[in-house]
Amino acid sequence: MNRCPDCTCEIAERYCPFCGYDSAMERVFVVQDQKRFDIGAAKSFGNLVFLLDEEATPYDESVVATLHDKLSSYTPEDYLLLLGNPCLIGWTVAIAALYSGGPVKHLQWRGKTQSYIVVEVDLKTSLRAN
């Protein structure tokens, strides 16, 4: 049995019947849960995985361990949504790049189009926007 990363119930398959999580989809790792923002449009890129709660701070010694634990399966196909404390955002990008071997994809909000665009970077080589 596995645990659904969204609702934490036990699931035997790749699909959670309770919340709709599908492990075959890409994932969008959200640095900090920020209730004041509507990030529903990010769901079109994959399952939302919240790394830290709204109260997390860089002064909490367990934060880096939590980020390592939750990002240990990060792949170049996954995305980061960079919401939250700037220190926590920086640590998240660094740890994601460590596990992916360098490539990281970010979702950037475009107010004019009311949609996200993908910004890809390989921290070992270059930066490109799609």
Domain that holds residue 71: 24-129
Return the structure tokens found at 102: 């360098």
For the chain, what is the mean pLDDT? Answer: 87
Q: What is the pLDDT of residue 23?
A: 61
The per-residue pLDDT for 119 is 96
Query: Is residue 87 in some structural domain?
Result: yes
Q: How far is residue 58's CA from residue 38's CA, in Å, rounded to a whole number?
A: 24
In a domain, 14, yes or no: no
Q: Is 67 inside a domain boundary?
A: yes
| Domain presence at residue 56 | yes
How many domains are contained in the chain? Answer: 1
Question: Is residue 11 included in any domain, yes or no?
Answer: no
**Does 83 map to a domain?**
yes
**Would residue 81 count as lying in a domain?**
yes
51 in Cβ contact with 70 (< 8 Å): yes
Residue 75 in contact with residue 86, Cβ under 8 Å? Answer: no
Domain assignment present for residue 90? The answer is: yes
What is the tens place of the pLDDT at every residue in 104-126?
A: 999 999 999 999 999 999 988 86
Q: How far apart are CA 95 and CA 14, in angstroms?
A: 25
